[in-house]
Amino acid sequence: MAIIKITASAITEVMGTAVPNKTTYYFDADLAGFGFYRTAAGTGTFFAEYRPVAGGAKKRIKLGRVGTLKANEAREAARKAIAHASLGRDLAKDRSDERASVTVKSLVSTYIEDFVAANKKASSAEFYRIMLNKHIEPRIGSVKAVALTRVEVQRAHGAMSKTARISANRAMKLLSAAYGWGAKNGYVPDGFNPATGVDLNKEEGRERFLSLDEMAALGEAMRNAETIGFEAVVSDAKHAPKGQRNKMHPCITGAIRLYMLTGMRLREVLHLRWDEVDLQRGLLFLPDSKTGRKTVVLSRAAVDVLTDLPRIGVYVIAGETAGLPDEKPRADLKRPWVAITKHAGLPGLRIHDLRHSFASVGAWSGLGLPIIGKLLGHADAKTTARYAHVDADSSRRAADAIAGQISAALGGK
Q: What is the CATH number of domain 212-396?
A: 1.10.443.10
Whole-number mean pLDDT of the chain? 80
pLDDT exceeds cutoff 50 at 261? yes
Spatial separation of the C-alpha atoms in residues 78 and 74, rounded to whole Å = 6
Angle 109-70-32 from CA coordinates, rounded to 5°: 100
Mean pLDDT comparison of 86-100, 234-248, 284-298, highest-scoring range: 284-298
How much is the average pLDDT of 42-71? Answer: 80
Other CB atoms within 10 Å distance of the CB of residue 21: 7
Share of the chain above pLDDT 70, in %: 75
**What are the DSSP E strand ranges found in 290-325?**
292-297
DSSP-H helix ranges across 185-286: 212-227, 250-262, 266-270
How much is the average pLDDT of 220-243? Answer: 71
For 343-356, the pLDDT digits (tens) are: 999 888 888 877 77
pLDDT exceeds cutoff 60 at 53? no
Compare 271 and 368 and report the one with higher pLDDT: 271
- Report the phi/psi class of residue 22: left, alpha or beta, with left for phi > 0 and alpha for psi in -120 to 50: beta
Spatial separation of the C-alpha atoms in residues 331 and 320, rounded to whole Å = 10
Which residues face 61 on adjacent strands? 48
**DSSP code, position 365:** T
pLDDT at 236: 46
For 5-34, the pLDDT digits (tens) are: 999 999 999 999 998 888 899 999 999 889
Task: Provide CATH 1.10.150 ranges for the chain.
Answer: 104-184
Q: Which fold has domain 104-184?
A: DNA polymerase; domain 1 (1.10.150)
How far is C-alpha 188 from the geometric centre of its chain's CA atoms?
Answer: 27
- Report the phi/psi class of residue 292: left, alpha or beta, with left for phi > 0 and alpha for psi in -120 to 50: left
In this structure, of 32-36, 155-159, 196-200, 208-212, the range with the lowest mean pLDDT score is: 208-212
pLDDT at 390: 46
Task: Provide CATH 3.30.160.390 ranges for the chain.
Answer: 2-99
pLDDT exceeds cutoff 60 at 128? yes
pLDDT at 381: 47
pLDDT at 36: 94
Report the candidate in 297, 298, 303, 294 with the shortest Cα–Cα distance to residue 377. Answer: 294
DSSP-H helix ranges across 59-149: 71-86, 91-99, 104-111, 117-119, 122-131, 137-140
Spatial separation of the C-alpha atoms in residues 296 and 365, rounded to whole Å = 20
**DSSP code, position 317:** S
How much is the average pLDDT of 212-237? Answer: 80
Residues 6 or more apart whose CB falls under 8 angstroms from that of 338 comprise none
Domain 2-99: CATH superfamily, name plus number: Integrase, DNA-binding domain (3.30.160.390)
Compare 119 and 411 and report the one with higher pLDDT: 119
Burial annotation 374-392 (CB, 10 A radius, 16+ → b, else e):
ebbbbeeeeebeebeebbe
> What is the signed CA dihedral for 351, 356, 362, 364, rounded to 10 degrees?
-110
For 278-298, the pLDDT digits (tens) are: 999 888 888 876 556 778 888
pTM over the 0.85 mark: no
Q: Is 74 helix (H, G, I), strand (E, B) or coil?
A: helix
How far is C-alpha 89 from the geometric centre of its chain's CA atoms?
Answer: 43
Helix or strand holding residue 36 (H, E)? strand 34-38
pLDDT at 237: 47
Q: Are strands 24-28 and 2-4 parallel, antiparallel or unpaired?
A: parallel
Spatial separation of the C-alpha atoms in residues 233 and 231, rounded to whole Å = 7
Report the candidate in 234, 156, 161 with the shortest Cα–Cα distance to residue 195. Answer: 156
